[in-house]
Amino acid sequence: MFSTSDTIVAIATPPGRGGIGVIRLSGPDACSIGRRLITHRGELEPRRATFTRTQAVDQVVATYFPSPHSYTGEDVLELSAHGSPVVLRTIVEKATSCGARPAEPGEFTFRAFLNGRIDLMQAEAVADLIDAVTPLQARAAFDQLEGTLTRAISEVDSLLFDLIARLEASVDFPDEGYHFVRPDTIAERVDGLVARVGALLSDARRGRLVREGLQVAIVGRPNVGKSSLFNALAGAPRAIVTEVPGTTRDLVTEVIDVNGLRVTMIDTAGLRDTDDVVEAEGVARSRGAQGVADLVLVVVDDEDDVEPVDRNHLIVQNKCDLGRPARGIRISAKTGAGLDDLRSA
């Protein structure tokens, strides 16, 4: 276990080249170590940007956040330099030679938690916000980071604690005739708490979908247009499309944004009996993907007689541009007709 009382340093911006790169120091010696890295000799005014130079190779903007009014709750100094990996590494190496320790992954957020700046749910939200790939994911993570879920749970906890305390007091002093809670309101208050917890659980299930996204498997027999549909939804020719049955042998995946929801699409091999060892393995993987998917798009044409076998199965009739009878959601992967209806479904 690493120490939480020393001063740590790390590059706070993503790897690679950029216009700006940020080095963050946090800990009791953040300011003193930082001042040894720069040429500025005056006091660093809290929460004010100071343009200066490093002792090494670059111009920087130094911003000092004294404890406890910083992200970690400790003294924090951030140096904004040009985003060259060489420049940033040089500054970090100089900081470590002055007494700072390289931060472990996630250690700034860990210290924020230890110092009471955020709770565990907010710490989790930091990671979710960084990993967000859709606006809906970012919004949900930001709400959690702002403490929306924490406040909702705290309200339920306070109401439950108050009710328990009143009930215990009423039981402890029965002879005095005190009623700290009206008996005829107890059931109503309990029902209200149950309803609020139920609403939180429903929100949690929806939140899981937003956070983790959906896995959608596209299945069906060979040559019904699974790969064509996959490419149409992906907006790019990710899967090979030919008229030869059994072209798709392995699983092909693509992540897309559907109305703000992160969707991982899985194109699968056509379902049929085959003596081809490679194709048979592809069919087995198709069935495996179908078993773990949140939603299964069963692609059919007019030759299929397929009905949904589970609640998460959705029949999609491809090649509607050929004028065939309607079954399920009608789409044409070739022309794009019906794809908006499929996304909304």
- Which CATH number do you get for residue 154? 1.20.120.430
pLDDT of residue 1: 61
3 is a domain residue: no
pLDDT of residue 323: 56
Q: What is the rounded CA–CA span in Å between residue 116 and residue 324?
A: 63
State yes or no: pLDDT of 96 exceeds 80.
Answer: yes
Same domain, 336 and 222: yes
Same domain, 14 and 98: yes
Confidence of residue 88 (pLDDT cuts 50, 70, 90): very high
- Average pLDDT, integer, range 150-171: 89
317 is a domain residue: yes
Q: For residue 89, what is the domain's CATH number?
A: 3.30.1360.120
State yes or no: pLDDT of 165 exceeds 60.
Answer: yes
Same domain, 80 and 51: yes
pLDDT digits (tens, 9 = 90+) for 255-297: 888 888 888 888 887 777 776 777 777 778 878 888 888 888 8
Range in 103-112, 144-153, 168-177 the model is least confident about: 168-177
206 is a domain residue: yes
- The average confidence (pLDDT) of the chain is 84
pLDDT of residue 99: 94
Q: Which domain holds residue 86?
A: 8-117
Range in 51-60, 79-88, 103-112, 266-275 the model is least confident about: 266-275
70 is a domain residue: yes
Confidence of residue 248 (pLDDT cuts 50, 70, 90): low
1 is a domain residue: no
Among 33-42, 63-72, 178-187, 323-332, the range of highest mean pLDDT: 63-72
246 is a domain residue: yes
How many structural domains compose the chain? 3
